[in-house]
Structure formats: structure tokens, C-alpha cells
Amino acid sequence: MALYSEKVMDHFRNPRNVGVIEDANGIGEVGNAKCGDIMKMYLKIEDDIVQDVKFETFGCGSAIASSSMATELIKGKPVSEVAQLTNKAVAEALDGLPAYKMHCSVLAEEAIQSALADYYSKKEATAE
Amino acid sequence: MIYADNAATTKMSEAAINTMLNVMKESYGNPSSLYGIGQHAKEILEEARVKIASVIGADPGEITFTSGGSEADNQAIVSAAELGRKKGKMHIISTAIEHHAVLHTLEKLKKEGFDITLLDVHENGIVRPEEVEAAIRDDTCLVTIMYANNEIGTIQPIREIGAICRSRNVLFHTDAVQAIAHIPVNVKDDNIDMLSSSAHKYHGPKGVGFLYAKKGIRLTNIIEGGAQERGKRAGTENVPGIAAMAEALQEADTHMAENAAHMAAMRDKLIAGLREIPHAALNGDAEHRLPGNVNFCFEGIEGESLLLLLDDKGIQASSGSACTSGSLDPSHVLLAIGRVHDVAHGSLRLSIGEEITEEEVDYIIKSVKDVVGYLRSFSPVWRDLCAGKTPFIL
């Protein structure tokens, strides 16, 4: 049996939405290099829709695949829907992750929620 | 495919496979049975013992067959601890970079009241004999130090340490799992009292190894239940495995000099090539090193993704990254030589075999350069390093 599902390996080998959005209006970074995984998410939100999303990840195969899958799940979606994204949805979309790698999907959820929180706090600051 | 994980295990040699098959087909008797085919199996067993003993400079009666290196380590340490306990000597000296077969056995003994000193191996991954000498106390019953490290390949000054132990009348055990059949090991010349070995590290089968214990050292059983191995290791002997181990060891020993010369040349070419990658560093001493071991840390990337992408390119290697260990901590060996967590996660071990060619080495260098560059291209850690937000360590 392989370590990862075909889907994990596909997203790991050909990660979607890799890179940086220079004019992102929501950026979130989670994890630390000590535990071995860092994810950074860049969101470009317009009219309450995630128009664009990109990621950078330092981490293992499942961390890269989780980041990639998470970006696919939220691209083009309204922020209200993005706020509901769970790590479980990311893991399921990848046809599952080994039990000891589930924290990678948690990190993807946290990175997106952190970018979303950044978007809202920036929006609030502008409104003030 | 380029198999560069020979420190994990090796491919069995044709001679070892043939020996094993022949014994399984023709000599299936139980060595403890008194009829012909039983006694024939017994002969095969004893011939293997003689072969193995002669390679390492021991007497056949000093060899006990085990299920592998881990069992041999366990039995050696527990035996020395029991001998010490009887004399009220409950102090053991070892190093921070031992295999877990040693470290976990020592942890168990610690719970039983033993005092354990783990010596520093410094930045080069090598123990200093004078520090062994200084650590020996009146109640020290054992010094156990590995011959060569499985991760970073460093070779310890075993002969000097053995001499110190002899002069201080302390038992000396060495886990020689990575050393036997790769570099010259002789228990007499090296002043070794006990030594562990595993067949699958030198093209023998898995699940078989041996413990050398100098005559007069009373072994404590780990497995009870029979008179096999002079009553010190119960269980019907793995005759096919043992015969194949002896064959593999003898074969490797015969070709050791030429194989080591070729591998060391290929190793040095690999090291030189990988050193061209910026912000990378060799782990462990460059000179006192196993001929087949290369171990690097690359800043800004994580080891597991490096291994998976190398596997896609047909190269099998390993890493000390936490992600490959199933725990949150990276390799205890890399931490012991002073690599911080962030850097230790980006480690790569290539353990090459005798058959490696110069073209394959070139291909490995190119592949590692490509994969490291690719992973760095979308690593937030690398971005911060390049932007000067965090300082480079390597």
C-alpha cells in the first residue's frame, strides 16, 4: 500500500495555485519550522468572492497537497462559504490522509481562516 | 532505479540467496534433532559460526545467533547490566547518537535504577576518547558506543575507546551494525568485549544477526525456552538465514577493500556535487566516515517532500525529518551534532552501494539540485531567508 492516495500524490506532484499574490488583501501564515510545516495563504477578495488564491508551503508531501487542495476548494467561492471550510473537507477531497498526517489538513484550514481574518481586520481598518 | 538507501537495508547477494534456498530445500532438519538431517543442519549452523568468527577475529564459541542487530544490542546491554548489578555497579556510558535499540534499552535500565551518561559527539559526530576515560567511574559496568553511525556515517575511535575500557576493567560493547563488512572490524585488535551485527546490512537476509561476546562474559537470556545457543538464546535456529548471513559476510569481507575504495570515491564526488547547492551542509565528519554515507541538510525545505520527488526520479533515499519519523521531532542524531530543528527537517541521507556508477552519481547530484531548487521556489521559509527576515543558519 502506498503512503498516500493517488489524489494526494497528484496535488503534491502538480500543486495548484502555487505562488504569491502581490496585491493580496488577505494573508495568513501558520505553523512553524520547528515542527516542520509552514503554510502561507494569499487571498484576493472582491465583492465578497475569493477571486484568486495562492499558497507557499514548507512541509511534507501531505502539507503541500493539503495546501493545494484547500486553494481549489475556495477559489471562486463566497467568503461566507470559505469561512465554513474544515480540515475534514480538505482531507476528504484528497481521498483521506494517514492519521498522523491529519494535522496537515488542520494547518490548511487554519491558514485560510487566518488569511480571512487578516482580510476582515484590514477591511475594518479601512472602514474606520 | 538508483537505490541509495543501503543503510536502511541492502539487496541480498546472489550467493546469499542461493545458500538460503539450498538450505531450505535440502537441509530442513532441526539442528537439535539427533537423526541425520538434523545433524546435517547442525553442521551448517556450526560452519556458519566458524566463518563469521573468523571474519571478525573471534572464536566460534563467542558467537550467538540472534534475530538481528536490535536483539543483539538488547542482549549485550542487559547482560552487562546484570553483571554490574550483582557487583553494585550501576553506571553505563553511551552516546547521544546511538541507535534506538541501544537508547531505549538504556532508558529501560534507567527506570530500574541505572545511572546513564550519554556522551556528547560534538559537531563532527565523533566521541572523544578522553571524554570516555573521564566519564568512567568506579561503578561503571559498561561502555556501549556504536562503531559507525547509521545516519551520518561517522566512524568512532573504537580501538582507543576499547583500550581505555580494558585498562579500566569496564566491559565494552559496540553496535557494529553499520560497520561490519563495510570497514575492517576485528574484535581482538579493536579491544571489543561485545559486538552486535545484522545480516541485512551486508546483502544477507533480514531477521538474522549475531552477538559476539568475549569468552567468560555471562549472557542474560532475552528469550527463554530451550537449549539452543548454549542455552543463551532459545528458539529453533534460523538455519537458512544464518547460513546466508555467513555467506554474505564472507563475500563482503573478501571484496571489502576494492568496494570501499570505489564507494568512497563516489561518496566524495557526491559530497562535492551537493556542496555546490547554496545554504547546504554536510552532516558528520568528512574523513572518518563510512564509504557509502552522504548526509546533507538543505535550508528552507522539508525532507519528506524531497524524498518523494527523488523517488519520482527513480532515486531511493531517506531523511531525518520529523515527517518521515512519525513524530514531531527530527532525528536525534542531527540534533546531537547541533543542527537546529528548522535545519534538521531538511536532511537527506544517501547511502550508496558497491554497484553505483559515476553516471548515477552525476544523475543524483543533478536531481537533488533540481528538487531542492523547486521546493525552495515556493517555500515561505526560503522566501523569508532570502528577504533577510530570518538569518541563514547554513
Provide the residue-wise pLDDT of chain B in tens; the chain has 394 residues.
999 999 999 999 999 999 999 999 999 999 999 999 999 999 999 999 999 999 999 999 999 999 999 999 999 999 999 999 999 999 999 999 999 999 999 999 999 999 999 999 999 999 999 999 999 999 999 999 999 999 999 999 999 999 999 999 999 999 999 999 999 999 999 999 999 999 999 999 999 999 999 999 999 999 999 999 999 999 999 999 999 999 999 999 999 999 999 999 999 999 999 999 999 999 999 999 999 999 999 999 999 999 999 999 999 999 988 766 666 688 999 999 999 998 999 999 999 999 999 999 999 999 999 999 999 999 999 999 999 999 999 9
Write out chain B residues lying below 8 Å of A59, CB-based. 302, 305, 323
Quote the minimal CA–CA distance from A67 to chain B in Å: 12
For the question of residue B386 being annotated catalytic, the response is: no
pLDDT value at A36 more than 80: no
**Is the CB of A18 less than 8 angstroms away from the CB of B322?**
no
Quote the minimal CA–CA distance from A77 to chain B in Å: 24
What torsion do the CA atoms of B235, B238, B242, B245 make, to the nearest 10 degrees? Answer: -120
Domains B14-254 and B256-386 share a fold: no
CB A117 within 8 A of CB A28: yes
E-assigned strand segments in chain A: 26-32, 37-46, 49-58
Task: Give me the pLDDT at residue A126, please.
Answer: 85
Q: What is the pLDDT of residues A54-88, one digit of tens each?
A: 999 999 999 999 999 999 999 999 999 999 999 99
pLDDT value at A29 more than 80: yes
Q: Characterize the bridge pairing of strands B140-144 and B171-175.
A: parallel
Write out chain A residues lying below 8 Å of B304, CB-based. 60-61
Please give the model's pTM, rounded to 2 decimal places.
0.95
Cell numbers 559496568 correspond to B141
Fold of B256-386: Aspartate Aminotransferase, domain 1 (3.90.1150)
Position B344, amino acid:
A
Write out chain B residues lying below 8 Å of A56, CB-based. 378-380, 383
Question: Which cell numbers hold the place of A61?
Answer: 508531501
The verdict on A54 touching B (C-beta cutoff 8 Å) is no
Task: Give me the pLDDT at residue B329, please.
Answer: 80
Cβ-Cβ contacts under 8 Å between A and B: the total is 67
Mutate to test the interface with A, among B301, B305, B374 (most CBs of A within 10 A): B305
Write out chain A residues lying below 8 Å of B305, CB-based. 12, 59-61, 63-64
Sign of CA dihedral A64, A65, A70, A73: positive
How far apart, in whole angstroms, are the C-alpha atoms of residue A97 and residue A66?
9
In 3D space, the residue among B92, B152, B81, B154 whose CA is nearest the CA of residue B119 turns out to be: B92
**Is the CB of A18 less than 8 angstroms away from the CB of B378?**
yes
**Is the CB of B321 less than 8 angstroms away from the CB of A60?**
yes
Task: Give me the pLDDT at residue B327, please.
Answer: 66
CB B267 within 8 A of CB B292: yes
Write out chain B residues lying below 8 Å of A39, CB-based. 380
The verdict on A15 touching B (C-beta cutoff 8 Å) is yes
The verdict on B326 touching A (C-beta cutoff 8 Å) is yes
- Go through the domains of chain A in sequence order and give each one's CATH number: 6-122 (3.90.1010.10)
Strand partners, B194: B173, B213
To the question of domain B14-254 being in CATH 3.40.1280.10, the answer is: no
**Is the CB of A40 less than 8 angstroms away from the CB of B380?**
yes
In B, minimum Cα distance to A98 occurs at B326
Using CB atoms, pick whichever of A34, A38, A60 lies closest to residue B380.
A38
**Structure confidence at residue A127 as a pLDDT band (50, 70, 90):** confident
Task: Give me the pLDDT at residue A33, please.
Answer: 67
Mutate to test the interface with A, among B297, B298, B307, B308 (most CBs of A within 10 A): B308
Task: Give me the pLDDT at residue B324, please.
Answer: 64
| Domain boundaries along the sequence of chain B | 14-254, 256-386
How far apart, in whole angstroms, are the C-alpha atoms of residue A54 and residue A19?
5
Task: Give me the pLDDT at residue B328, please.
Answer: 67
Task: Give me the pLDDT at residue B80, please.
Answer: 98
Position B362, amino acid:
D
